[in-house]
Structure 1
Amino acid sequence: METLNAMLYLHDQGHLHRDIKAGNILIDSNGSVKVAEFGVSASVYEANSSGESSIRLNDIAGMPYWMAPEVIHSHNGYGCKADVWSFGITALELAHGGPHLSNLPPSKSLLLKITKRFRFSDYENSHDNNYKSKKFSKAFKDLVGCCLDQDPNKRPTAERLLCN
């Protein structure tokens, strides 16, 4: 929840983190979650005479295993929903100790996303015994499943995830 709150705050301020993963989520001595590493973060707002207007990013940033499909297809541009995808992969990473597709070279994981062959159901039905031995609750499956929708327009916002 605290990671989603941090994402919501960033998005409300007009920024994308672009590198959400377990290694960038820190827990302080009080047990509070902090999101770190803003080296590839970017603004998604551009000031103009009418105020601020939303723009879409089109450069590739982030780590391959956590990268949303629309980031790879960056010619179409992407926005805050790319962080939501990364959050979904991070949830899987925390459940298993590694992101999905990490058994593959990074280039192959990108290829699966480019060709739209990555689905959460594939993850659940993986032949990797480490993944197969894990059982997910329906709530976890629903959370991760909606975060990993190939269509960013169908993916929820951080705010919507917090409401559910």
Structure 2
Amino acid sequence: MSNKVTEKTEDLVQPILDELNLELVDVEFEKEGPNWFLRVFVDKTGGVDIEECGQVSEKLSEKLDAEDPVTFPYFLEVSSPGAERPLKKKKDFESNVGNNIFIKLYEPLHGSKEFEGILKSFENEVAKLEIKIKARKKEIELPYEKIAKARLAVTFN
């Protein structure tokens, strides 16, 4: 059910985002305690503000009421993905070359399932990551199909 709701929400929200020149980052439909939350994460170059999130929420809410993909009470939240934005699509990797990212794999590779480092390149569906092992820098290659989750990673100097 969760996949159908997120897919339907993506279909409904995309024309709204196109009109407002915003990008869809992710849609989640999750139960937390007794409540269900439909979360839509949007962004644009330079970031989104509260007014833009409000516009998307209002327009999407009308469409959701008309289409009614969820037959029980839930909370709709539209927000920015924040500093640790998820990287879901191949183009997310391509546009974040040079940034510090965190990657979690489906299965261990290079002796681990989790890596954090600078994304050096993303070509031929392979993420090349520069990681630090103690004081040494090392480049590793992680195939896109083995990546379970990825996000930008905030670093503190």
TM above 0.5, yes or no, is: no
Normalization by structure 1: what TM-score? 0.27
Normalization by structure 2: what TM-score? 0.27
- Of structures 1 and 2, the one scoring higher in RCO (CA 8 A, sep 6+) is 1
Greater fraction strand:
2
